[in-house]
């Protein structure tokens, strides 16, 4: 059984928690399945809004799906959470990722609304 199937079986068995959702999201990211990762990482930050690692992974997954505005929001939230918890390394990393996403957003051509 591959890791994703194993983690999904744990979810189905009722072991739903933020750590399992983060682990499953990261497994999907490792397989290049960012859209599937987003679903589980959103669940992780809903279950534990103070989980900076989950915010960081969610930002990455959203960035990989080209949902740049949402990725920017996730990174910004992650920075705030990490700073509150004193996780300065994670805060610095997400600040770098956030700036990179903001640059990408600035470079996007305007859409006709």
Residue 29 has what pLDDT? 98
Give the tens place of pLDDT for each residue, 26-52: 999 999 999 999 999 999 999 999 999
d(CA 58, CA 8): 18
Give the tens place of pLDDT for each residue, 53-91: 999 999 999 999 999 999 999 999 999 999 999 999 999
What residue segments make up the domains of the chain, in order of their start? 3-107
pTM of this structure: 0.92
> 19-23, 94-98, 100-104, 106-110: which has the minimum mean pLDDT?
106-110
Block residue for tokens 């992780």: 44
Residue 110 has what pLDDT? 61
The fold of 3-107 is: 1.25.40
DSSP state of 12: H
């Amino acid at each position: 059984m591959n890791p994703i199937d194993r983690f999904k079986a744990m979810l189905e068995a009722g072991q739903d928690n933020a750590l399992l959702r983060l682990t499953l999201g990261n497994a999907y990211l490792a397989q290049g399945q960012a859209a599937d990762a987003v679903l589980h990482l959103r669940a992780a930050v809903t279950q534990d809004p103070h989980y900076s690692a989950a915010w960081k992974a969610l930002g990455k997954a959203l960035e990989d799906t080209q949902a740049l505005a949402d990725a920017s929001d996730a990174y910004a939230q992650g920075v705030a959470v990490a700073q509150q918890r004193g996780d300065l390394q994670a805060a610095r990393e997400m600040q770098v990722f956030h700036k990179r996403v903001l640059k990408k957003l600035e470079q996007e051509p305007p859409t006709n609304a």
